[in-house]
Amino acid sequence: MSPQPSISKKQIHKWKVQTMLTTGFASELKVGRIFLLPDCLGLGEDARWRWKWIPISMLLGIKGGTSTGLYPYVRLKSLTPAFGKLALQPIMEISAIPVIGICKKFSVGPNMFAIRASLKAGTEGVPWTLQLTWKSSERDMLQTKVASYMTVLEYLQRCALSRTCKAVFRAAVKMPFLHSHRPVCGDTSSGSVHITQYLGLRASRDKPLPTIAYLKASERFGQSKTITICPGHFIDPGNESGAPGEREFNLEIVNVLEKDLSANGWRVLRPDRDAPNLSWEEYLNWVSKQTCSGHPVVEIHGQGSSAMDSKGSVVGVIGDPYIMLNRELARNIGFLNIDWKELGVPRRGGVIVESFNADEILQMAPSQRVQAARYIGGQLMDSIQRISSKTDAKKIGD
């Protein structure tokens, strides 16, 4: 099922309990309370926090293992990348061994990469580490760590045990680095499992306005030239990662569409990229504000053949059929026979477009995939341009 289901109103994310068990029977425990600093200023128009260093997540707790004992632990992490175009994310740990680090995340096609550089104070052996992470999917990650005199290759697999609990399995091999004659300390190969449980309350979602309020505001959709295009399953996906291959292709379409829209003078908001740490509740509250200000919010999805609606369609629009944009989007693919009022985004004046059959995309060669993304992006572009010109004409007519 592609659209986000309604989840219980208040959940998770204030307390974090992590345990790690390794093949050498060493174990580590981390218990902490997460604070978002300061949490009071709210989101800006583009879903970013109003001050660019906000939110800073601060974790206060204890950390330790069988070899080190327990000690107090503080980690400060800017959740919004800073330093202009470099978009670096500073991270600082204050504990028995203070660490400062900086991280840069970027994507190449559907692949996500992260480069991290960190410096540990007061350790003789490994004062610095450079780490490259390649994430081919939400589950699999390959990591290379280069430290002062050794390289560690790691394979990680994530698995969500529940909406609030995740496990990461890790296999690692250590190798000496650059003809170093220093022996590698510890075991040369190891494995571990890392379990994280989130506890506590989460931001609450505001009650949606009456449907008529969103419908009225949608009359201004074409005028503002500001639009949100969000690939499905990127904001706070939890266990909802969509049909196989869907998430990646949602992103490919959105990237094509964003380029087209920008070239045609639209300001495109991308909360998936610019505010990736939003909780689902924060996102829904923000969607409601956007659509009420006359800025459309379009979420791109796809689904597998098994997700057919009662009329046998896989593709189609989910949203208020009285909103002009939704009718334009549905011109070629129709509306899906699903109650749009049951879903968070359409209920708040946004629209979900189930734009492709994910099973078909999985069968495609890379060049066909690129073509398909261009074709779908082009169709969506035409629909958006049509409402823009219609409201423009209306304005002149008035």
Contacting Zn ion within 33-52 (CB under 5 A): none
Q: What is the DSSP letter of 188?
A: S
User: Which stretch in 75-83, 96-104, 237-245, 282-290 sits in contact with Zn ion by CB under 5 A?
Assistant: 237-245
Question: Nearest 5°: CA angle at 279, between 276 and 283?
Answer: 80
The 351-357 sheet, strands edge to edge:
267-269, 226-231, 297-303, 351-357, 316-318
Question: Which C-beta is closer to Zn ion: that of 36 or that of 278?
Answer: 278
Is 358 in contact with 242 (CB distance < 8 Å)?
yes
User: Which stretch in 32-40, 158-166, 189-197, 229-237 sits in contact with Zn ion by CB under 5 A?
Assistant: 229-237
Tell me if residue 89 falls in helix, strand or coil: strand
Of 242, 294, 304, 349, the one binding Zn ion by CB under 5 A = 242
- Does position 355 interact with Zn ion (CB under 5 A)? The reply is no
Question: Which C-beta is closer to Zn ion: that of 63 or that of 270?
Answer: 270
Which residues neighbour 207 within 8 Å (Cβ) at sequence distance 6 or greater?
Answer: none
User: Which among 224, 266, 271, 267 is positioned nearest to 251, based on CA atoms?
Assistant: 271
Size of the site for Zn ion (CB under 5 A): 4
Question: Which C-beta is closer to Zn ion: that of 54 or that of 373?
Answer: 373
Compute φ and ψ for 137, nearest 5 degrees: -155, 180
- Does position 271 interact with Zn ion (CB under 5 A)? The reply is no
User: Which stretch in 97-105, 124-132, 299-307, 328-336 sits in contact with Zn ion by CB under 5 A?
Assistant: 299-307
User: Which stretch in 137-145, 232-240, 323-331, 383-391 sits in contact with Zn ion by CB under 5 A?
Assistant: 232-240
User: Least Å distance between CB 228 and Zn ion?
Assistant: 16
Is 323 in contact with 351 (CB distance < 8 Å)?
yes
Q: How many of the other CB atoms lie within 10 Å of CB of 220? A: 15
User: Which stretch in 64-72, 102-110, 144-152, 242-250 sits in contact with Zn ion by CB under 5 A?
Assistant: 242-250
Q: How many of the other CB atoms lie within 10 Å of CB of 111? A: 12
Of 208, 232, 245, 304, the one binding Zn ion by CB under 5 A = 232
Question: Which C-beta is closer to Zn ion: that of 11 or that of 355?
Answer: 355
Q: Encoding tokens for residue 386?
A: 């049509």
Tell me if residue 23 falls in helix, strand or coil: coil
> How far does the chain reach from its first CA to its final CA, in angstroms?
43
- Does position 2 interact with Zn ion (CB under 5 A)? The reply is yes
**Beta-sheet pairing, 189-199 with 165-176:** antiparallel
Of 194, 301, 348, 369, the one binding Zn ion by CB under 5 A = 301
Distance between CA atoms of 224 and 292, rounded to whole angstroms?
12
Instruction: Write 79-85 long-range contacts (CB < 8 A, 24+).
Output: 79/36, 79/49, 79/54, 79/55, 79/277, 80/48, 80/49, 80/52, 80/53, 80/54, 80/55, 80/275, 80/277, 81/105, 82/52, 82/53
User: Which stretch in 139-147, 152-160, 235-243, 271-279 sits in contact with Zn ion by CB under 5 A?
Assistant: 235-243
Question: Which C-beta is closer to Zn ion: that of 145 or that of 301?
Answer: 301
- Residue with nearest beta carbon to Zn ion: 2
User: Which stretch in 10-18, 193-201, 234-242, 263-271 sits in contact with Zn ion by CB under 5 A?
Assistant: 234-242
Contacting Zn ion within 91-110 (CB under 5 A): none
User: Least Å distance between CB 264 and Zn ion?
Assistant: 26
Question: Which C-beta is closer to Zn ion: that of 2 or that of 118?
Answer: 2
Question: Which C-beta is closer to Zn ion: that of 164 or that of 241?
Answer: 241
User: Least Å distance between CB 2 and Zn ion?
Assistant: 3
Q: Which residues bind Zn ion (CB under 5 A)?
A: 2, 232, 242, 301
